[in-house]
Structure 1
Amino acid sequence: MLDAGDPAPDFDLQGTANGGSGAYRLSAAAGQAPVVVAFYTEDFAPRCRRYLAALRDTEWRELTDGIAVFGVAPGDMADHRSFAAELGLPFPLLIDHAGVDAQFGVQRPDGTTRRAAFLVDSRCRVRFAWADDGSGEVPDIAPLLDAVAAL
């Protein structure tokens, strides 16, 4: 798994965009603001629902002037769009068909994706990394928020 200080692999992925769809490039977003890349296992899974809701409910503006949050998981646009709408997510959900989870080191041996979060800075360097320990608990995102505030 990538760790703080490692270069973040750039990616171009399709994702949800205000009820529609769009293309997202990590390096382009990071050039404008820090980026939280939040990997999750699948749409509609209770653990993933709680994880993305915790990110949704974060008061990002209290921590930084600007930030982008990308949810990344396998799936298709229809499911991502429905899941984003159901949760009222203010950030896009991106479709990982390119093995981006493997490049970040959060793909399991069976090919599924671990819940994980990476904070990527303007130089496309990882500033913070977390991955699910398998407990199924809602992740404590306080360390991620501390890393955002420290930028």
Structure 2
Amino acid sequence: MLEIGDPAPDFDLEGTAGEGRGAYRLSAAAGRAPVLVAFYAEDFAPACRSYLEALRDTDWGSLTDAIAVFGVAPGSLEDHRAFASDLELPFPLLVDHPGVDAQFGVQRPDGSTRRSAFLVDGRCRVRFAWADERDAPGEEPPDVTPILDAVESL
């Protein structure tokens, strides 16, 4: 898993953009504002739902001038769009086709993605890293306080 100070692998992924679709490049987004890259295993899974709801309910705007949040998981754009709509997410969900989760070190041996979060700064360096190490994460959301502390320190 990537650690604080490591360079974040750049990616260019397709994702949800309201009712449409968009292309999202990490380096371009990080050049404008810090980016929280939030990996999750699959759309509509209870543990992933609670994780994304916790991120949705966080008031990122009160912490800094701007921060981008990208949810990243395998699956289809159509499923991501339905999941984002169901949760009323204010941030895009990106389709992880080329194995970005493996580049960040959060792909499990069985190929599934571990719930995790990486805060990437304007130099594309990791400023915060967290991964749920449990084999079967429960439905309770992770504590987002350490993420908030990292954002405030930027």
Tell me the TM-score normalised to structure 1 length: 0.98
2:146 aligned residue: 143
Give 1:11 deviation, angstroms. Answer: 0.1
**Residue aligned with 1:61, SS:** helix
Q: Percent identity?
A: 75
Does 2:98 align with 1:102? no
1:75 aligned residue: 75
Give 1:18 deviation, angstroms. Answer: 1.1
Give 1:138 deviation, angstroms. Answer: 1.4
* 1:50-82, Cα deviation, whole Å (9 max, x unpaired): 000000000111111000000000000110000
Runs of 4+ in structure 1 over 2 Å off:
none
2:64 aligned residue: 64
The total of aligned residue pairs comes to 151
Measure, in 2, the Cα distance between the counterparts of 1:19 and 1:56: 18
Measure, in 2, the Cα distance between the counterparts of 1:19 and 1:104: 28
1:120 aligned residue: 120
Measure, in 2, the Cα distance between the counterparts of 1:64 and 1:132: 26
Measure, in 2, the Cα distance between the counterparts of 1:149 and 1:20: 32
Q: Which moved more, 1:1-10 or 1:128-137?
A: 128-137
Give 1:133 deviation, angstroms. Answer: 2.2
Measure, in 1, the Cα distance between the counterparts of 2:60 and 2:110: 34
Q: CA RMSD in A?
A: 0.6
Measure, in 1, the Cα distance between the counterparts of 2:19 and 2:142: 27
Structure 2 residues not aligned, in runs of 5+: none
